[in-house]
Each structure stands twice: as C-alpha cells, then as structure tokens.
C-alpha cells in the first residue's frame, strides 16, 4: 500500500515552460486535492476533486489546471510557468463518506511533495 | 469559506518542557478540527483531531484543548522531545459539504536537548 505518490520529486523550469505534476493514490479515496506550500503561508488549496469526474477551484487556482484522470489519479498542469509558482506542491486524498461506526471520514492523506523552481 | 489564524510562527522549547500552539477559526458550522505534523522534506500527516462536542482530547503526550465560544483550539505537547521538532499546522473544514480543509500558516517547533 503506497498511499499517495507524486512525481517528480524535484523539477526546475524556465519561465514560460509547461509541465504536469502527477499524483496517484491506492486507498480508493473519492476526494483528491492539490496544495502549494510557501514559507509563512501554510498550505493553500489550488484545486480539488470531490469525486471522480468533478474538479473545482480552491483558494489560489490562477495559472493552474487539473485533470481527474480516474479515481486513482489527479494531475496538476502549469501551462506557462512563472517564478511566482516556485513552491512545494502537495497532493492529498480523502475518503468521502462515513466510516464504520457512522463517523464522517475527515483525514486527508498527503504525498511526499514536489519541489518546483521556476527560473 | 474559512479563515484560520495560527500562532506563534516559531517556538523553541527545552527538552521536557510544554509546547503550546494556538489556532483561531471563523466559521463555526463544522465539526472537525485537526492538527497536522510535518517533518522536513515530508508531507504533512495527521497528528490528532477533535470534534467540538468535547473540550479536550488527549493522545499520549499530545492534547487538543477546544474552546467553542471563543472559536479557538490549541495543541499542547507535554514533555517535549527533540523528535517533536517539526512544523505543526492547525486546520478547519470549509468549502462545499465541508469537504475541504483550510490550514493555518504553521508553527516551526524546535526542541532543544
């Protein structure tokens, strides 16, 4: 059980280049998320997918697009990278529904992150 | 939406001391308030969480205290150890169906041996 995996681990881009960050989970979770983490800013939600087939904007979606390819995979695309997109990107997933015993599932499980530098 | 304010930004504690991190939230409509722990180079991981029907939850050396009327909750780490040195994030639910989490800005804890 690998949990949430992300590729690549590191990436350096030049301004204007494009790239796709990949995320996959093997926990059969419904919801998936993309965050960026910047010093002093915490984790900010870029996009999320509440369930397969749906995607929605989070707090900071500008400059990004996403694709929920299937239940397992959720990719983040930078069409024209800018230095302001230098950050550490985390993917997360969550079971949406009720656990045994009736409690709502709330825990998000995070991947190891992708460190992106845009020159 | 949800706004979450966390303090302090950084904290240095002697081994064996108590670490206290505070968090304030705005939207009271939801019922789940977690703390995440992040080690350098790793993704955040759930440490402990509380539902507001209780005022305190304890798991080992980690305790969440919850004050619903003040819209605040705090993390207490008793007998702090160097291995607790990490960044801690509080979070509160928000968004459609409370399916999302809004995170505080993080507290970098350093425990000195």
pLDDT tens string A92-107: 999 877 666 666 667 8
The 10s digit of each residue's pLDDT in A62-102 is: 999 999 989 999 999 999 999 999 999 999 999 877 666 66
pLDDT of residue A64: 98
Whole-angstrom Cα distance, residue A113 to residue A117?
13
Report whether pLDDT(A49) > 70: yes
Q: Do B46 and A108 touch (CB under 8 A)?
A: yes
Mean pLDDT score of chain A, rounded to an integer? 92
Partner-chain residue, chosen from A40, A107, A111, that has the shortest CB–CB distance to B43: A111
Interface probe for A, chosen from B3, B21, B43 (most Cβ of A below 10 Å), is B43
Look up residue B75 and give its two tokens: 């993390």
Q: Do B32 and A108 touch (CB under 8 A)?
A: no
Q: Do B104 and A42 touch (CB under 8 A)?
A: yes
Give the A:B interface size as CB pairs under 8 Å. 57
Q: Which ranges of chain B have pLDDT less than 50?
A: none
pLDDT of residue B39: 97
| Cβ-contact B93, B32 below 8 angstroms | yes
Band of pLDDT at residue A41, cut at 50, 70 and 90: confident
Q: Do A50 and B45 touch (CB under 8 A)?
A: no
Sequence-distant (≥ 6) Cβ neighbours of residue B77 within 8 angstroms:
B18, B19, B20, B61, B62, B84, B109
pLDDT of residue A95: 84
Partner-chain residue, chosen from A42, A107, A113, that has the shortest CB–CB distance to B43: A113
């Amino acid at each position: 059980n690998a949990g949430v995996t992300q590729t690549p681990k590191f990436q350096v881009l030049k301004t204007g280049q494009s790239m796709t960050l990949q995320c996959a989970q093997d926990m059969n979770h419904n919801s998936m998320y993309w965050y960026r983490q910047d010093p002093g800013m915490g984790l900010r939600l870029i996009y999320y997918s509440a369930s397969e087939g749906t995607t929605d904007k989070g707090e900071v979606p500008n400059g990004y697009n996403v694709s929920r390819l299937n239940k397992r995979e959720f990719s983040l695309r930078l069409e024209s990278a800018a230095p302001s997109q230098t950050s550490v990107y985390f993917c997360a997933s969550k079971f949406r529904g009720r656990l045994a015993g009736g409690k709502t599932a709330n825990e998000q499980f995070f991947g190891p992150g992708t460190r992106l530098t845009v020159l | 939406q949800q706004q979450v304010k966390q303090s302090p930004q950084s904290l240095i504690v002697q081994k064996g001391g108590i670490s206290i991190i505070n968090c304030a939230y705005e939207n009271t409509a939801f019922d789940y308030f977690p703390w995440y722990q992040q080690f350098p180079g790793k993704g955040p991981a759930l440490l402990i969480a509380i539902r507001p029907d209780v005022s305190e939850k304890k798991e080992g050396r980690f305790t969440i205290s919850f004050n619903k009327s003040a819209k605040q909750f705090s993390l207490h780490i008793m007998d702090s150890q160097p291995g607790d040195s990490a960044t801690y994030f509080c979070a509160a639910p928000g968004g459609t169906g409370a399916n999302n989490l809004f995170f505080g800005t993080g507290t970098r804890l350093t425990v000195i041996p």
